[in-house]
Amino acid sequence: MTTIAATIATELGATQAQVDTALALLVEGNTVPFISRYRKEATGGLDGAQLRHIEQRHGYLAELEDRRSTVLAAIEEQGKLTDELRAQVLAADTKARLEDLYLPYKKRRATKADIAREAGLDNLLSILIDAPSSDPETTAAGFVTEGFPDAKSALDGARVILAERLALDADLVGALRERFFNTATMRASVIAGKQSDGAKFKDYFDFAEPLDTLPSHRILALFRAENEGVLTLMLDPGEEEVFTGMIARHADLAVKESSWLAKSVGWAWRTKLQVSATVDARMRLKEKAELGALEVFSTNLREVLLAAPAGQRVTLALDPGYRNGVKCAVVDGTGKVLDTTIVYPHQPQKRWAEAVDKLAGLVTERGVELIAVGNGTASRESDKLTHEVAGHAAQAGARKPTAVMVSESGASVYSASELAAAEFPDMDVSLRSAVSIARRLQDPLAELVKVDPKSIGVGQYQHDINQVALARALDAVVEDAVNAVGVDLNTASVPLLERVAGVSATLARNIVDYRDEHGAFASRKDLSKVPRLGPKAFEQAAGFMRIQGGANPLDASAVHPEAYPVVERIAASTGLETEALIGNTAVLSRLSPADFADETFGVPTVTDIIAELDKPGRDPRPEFATATFKEGVIKVADLAPGMILEGTVTNVAAFGAFVDIGVHQDGLVHVSAMSRSFVADPHEVVRSGQVVKVKVLDVDVERQRIGLSLRLDDTPGSAKPAAKAGKRPGGRRQAKPASGSMAEALKQAGFGKGL
């Protein structure tokens, strides 16, 4: 039996020593961001994703080992643990395989097969198997008992014993499940009378697709439709003879010589083995779908959190609405609220001129540079309002602000939270949303950490997947994003500090309380004065904290305090002070990391230090850019095939990307319309928050669907594939590309099937 570390090392393509070291560091309480950034020598450069895989797989495999020990002890206690069975149990690499092996030895209630065995019918079965040409009725007549009064009931008893024997054969069950999953087809049909209520699932009313090609979003859509009572799902295994043949060969049953054996094997398949294979396949589909959904959600969340910040610019935010007005807030460059108001430019009040005057006055008075418009109800009308406001402000001599459409997903969740209430106890809930919209334009990461990641609106079917796994995955994404950027120790909020490696909710609150009482931190060393922040927490967190304008210029960088002596050696070798060394590319580019490496800090760490000195505190996020929506295009009906528009990617899924082009309904760029070459993953082409130019290919006003293309030379109304059908990397054949209209292409691809 291989060790847990060896198993994980094989999965990662790493060495066992790397995995052993990583596990030891994790057990000691080190965080993933800290290990990946500051312990590269120890782990051989394992990154955050690899470390999290080690952490999660270790938990699963440790549970597997505990269960393995329990199973071995239970079977041995029964006196049934053979050398062969022990070897099989020790080789079981999944919990499912282990439970299959243990199933025959589990204590259970008496079954029909047990009753039949007590009546001696296992001997009847042995005769029927060993002498397949014998007459079953005649043979069974000799086994008539009180519980089985005639030959037919005796044969039924023998058949039940055979079915249970087959169902308890772990090797057979495993082989059948694999064959079933790889060859079966998912079939869906609408339940009579549900056509209208389940219209959103229309594309599945008469549907069939092999299990092994079903994508994540489609699996979840099918299961949701089934749960809502719209669809009936059936997993069709195909030709029964394929499976009964496998059973007969495995159990060495002469079914061709015995119709009774043939019928009994078929019955065993339909009543037990197929049911087991179906349950297993549905579980595997759900696991596959959840993993796919988690991956998409995590990737999109990472991109949203690491979206380009507009920076410290005075911002006016509009949280649009009709009857209840447009909620407005002005915040300064640090996010401090300067003004709030509500205007009513839209129906039913239609006080447009009044709204323009009031907002233009705020822009002029406060020196507004950016206007953030929430992308919900009345957003395009409010965007139009901002252009008039900017024009009026410019006429009054003020700087003309830039309007930006901002996702308001989760803003209402934040505004009603305890956190928002504590931050703005005297502010109306609706106005808190406007403040959040302004701040998320200035610094998406700092503001979005205040919102439950599941409410940010970048996932697929988040309510249909395991919530514990979802929370764990998204928390990891947020933690990685915050630590990749770093936080300003003197301005960071409690929610932001909570995401720093090694900082608990209590420590985050203590840091802010200490800052409020004693003023700004002058150095990272001052962190040690914070109540309950001990050496371990300092070690984990310090490198991710930034202090701008402090006594030590390194405190504003990602160089960990423990490595300051390395910088001092580097500075001494150049004859420069540390401050003069920072940003001095000419000098730094000539340094050899190996010259400054020692037993504690190896070449990888020194390389990172030199790179950080060259560009201290560099922000890994992209430059800020905005999309400009086309004038006069504010609803789906305004669109026409052939239009070339600018928009912002709002979500990236396995089948394509959704783009906000300013018409209240995102359009879909199907994966086949992203590039002339094959695209295995849409994330390779676009990311959430990216500004792109798209061509309108197809518009369905009634169903509010928009087909877009990143290939601006595509012909409207056509969905010709990016590449001919053929083999994908890894040898699998691609599905045949769609042809005809974009609507047809989207239907084949699953657009509209994932809700």
Q: What is the pLDDT of residues 90-102, one digit of tens each?
A: 999 999 999 999 9
Last residue of a domain, which of 57, 75, 105?
A: 105
Can you give the pLDDT at residue 30? Answer: 97
In this prediction, residues 360-379 reach a mean pLDDT of 93
Residues 94 and 224 both lie in one domain: no
Can you give the pLDDT at residue 407? Answer: 87
Residues 349 and 414 both lie in one domain: yes
CATH code of the domain covering residue 130: 1.10.3500.10
* Confidence check: pLDDT of 742 > 60: no
Distance in angstroms (rounded) separating the CA atoms of residues 305 and 621: 9
Residues 127 and 249 both lie in one domain: yes
Expressed as residue numbers, the domain containing 44 is: 4-105
Please report how many Cα atoms fall inside a 13 Å half-sphere around the Cα of residue 560, on the Cβ side.
20
Name the percent of the chain lying above pLDDT 90. 77
Q: How confident is the model at residue 739 (pLDDT cuts 50, 70, 90)?
A: very low
* Confidence check: pLDDT of 743 > 50: no
320 three-state secondary structure = coil
The per-residue pLDDT for range 439-468, each reduced to its tens digit, is 999 999 999 999 988 888 777 677 788 888
To the nearest 10 degrees (0 to 180), the angle between helices 48-77 and 83-91 is 160
525 three-state secondary structure = helix
Residues 99 and 123 both lie in one domain: no
Whether 327 maps to a domain, the answer reads: yes
In this prediction, residues 166-171 reach a mean pLDDT of 96
CATH code of the domain covering residue 705: 2.40.50.140
Residues 251 and 121 both lie in one domain: yes
Whether 92 maps to a domain, the answer reads: yes
403 three-state secondary structure = strand
Can you give the pLDDT at residue 672? Answer: 92
The per-residue pLDDT for range 656-690, each reduced to its tens digit, is 999 989 887 889 999 999 998 999 889 889 988 88
207 phi and psi angles, rounded to 5 deg: -135, 145
Report H helices in 486-588. 494-498, 505-518, 535-541, 564-574, 578-581, 585-588
Residues 94 and 119 both lie in one domain: no
In this prediction, residues 374-393 reach a mean pLDDT of 89
The per-residue pLDDT for range 185-217, each reduced to its tens digit, is 999 999 999 999 999 899 999 999 999 999 988
Whether 244 maps to a domain, the answer reads: yes
708 phi and psi angles, rounded to 5 deg: -120, 165
Residues 255 and 356 both lie in one domain: no
Residues 22 and 139 both lie in one domain: no
* Confidence check: pLDDT of 736 > 80: no
- Region of 558 (left: φ > 0; alpha: ψ -120 to 50; beta: rest) is alpha
667: CB partners within 8 A, 6+ apart: 647, 658, 659, 661, 694, 696, 706, 707, 708
Q: What is the largest CA-CA distance in the chain?
A: 109
Residues 79 and 165 both lie in one domain: no
Look at residues 442, 407, 415 and name the one whose alpha carbon lies nearest to residue 304. Answer: 407
- Contact assessment for residue 117 and residue 161, using Cβ atoms and an 8 Å cutoff: yes
In this prediction, residues 566-594 reach a mean pLDDT of 95
The neighbouring-strand residues paired with 342 are 327
Residues 334 and 202 both lie in one domain: no
Long-range Cβ contacts of 38-44 (<8 Å, 24+ apart): 38/543, 38/560, 38/562, 38/563, 38/605, 40/602, 40/604, 40/605, 40/608, 41/601, 41/602, 41/604, 41/605, 43/18, 44/14, 44/15, 44/17, 44/18
* Structural domain count, the chain: 4
Residues 172 and 286 both lie in one domain: yes
**For residue 732, what is the DSSP state?**
P
For 617-647, the DSSP string reads T---SPPP----PPTT--SGGG--TT-EEEE
Last residue of a domain, which of 70, 105, 140?
A: 105
The per-residue pLDDT for range 289-311, each reduced to its tens digit, is 999 889 888 988 998 999 999 99
In this prediction, residues 338-359 reach a mean pLDDT of 96
Whether 744 maps to a domain, the answer reads: no
For 142-193, the DSSP string reads TT--SSS-SHHHHHHHHHHHHHHHHHT-HHHHHHHHHHHHHH-EEEEEEPTT
Whether 587 maps to a domain, the answer reads: no
Last residue of a domain, which of 383, 413, 442?
A: 442
CATH code of the domain covering residue 326: 3.30.420.140
Distance in angstroms (rounded) separating the CA atoms of residues 335 and 539: 30
Residues 195 and 279 both lie in one domain: yes
How deeply is 142 buried, as exposed, middle or buried, from its count of CB atoms within 10 A (0-12, 13-18, 19+)? exposed
Can you give the pLDDT at residue 16? Answer: 95
The per-residue pLDDT for range 490-502, each reduced to its tens digit, is 999 999 999 999 9
The per-residue pLDDT for range 398-419, each reduced to its tens digit, is 888 998 989 888 888 999 999 9
- Contact assessment for residue 694 and residue 709, using Cβ atoms and an 8 Å cutoff: yes
**For the stretch 713-740, what's the b/e string if a residue is b when 16 or more beta carbons lie within 10 angstroms of its beta carbon?**
ebebebbebbeeeeeeeeeeeeeebbee
Whether 480 maps to a domain, the answer reads: no
The per-residue pLDDT for range 470-487, each reduced to its tens digit, is 889 999 999 999 999 999
CATH code of the domain covering residue 48: 1.10.10.650
Whether 152 maps to a domain, the answer reads: yes
Q: How confident is the model at residue 735 (pLDDT cuts 50, 70, 90)?
A: very low
Can you give the pLDDT at residue 342? Answer: 97
For 46-64, the DSSP string reads --HHHHHHHHHHHHHHHHH
Whether 235 maps to a domain, the answer reads: yes
For 244, other C-beta atoms within 10 Å of its C-beta total: 22
Report H helices in 228-376. 240-251, 259-268, 274-305, 352-366
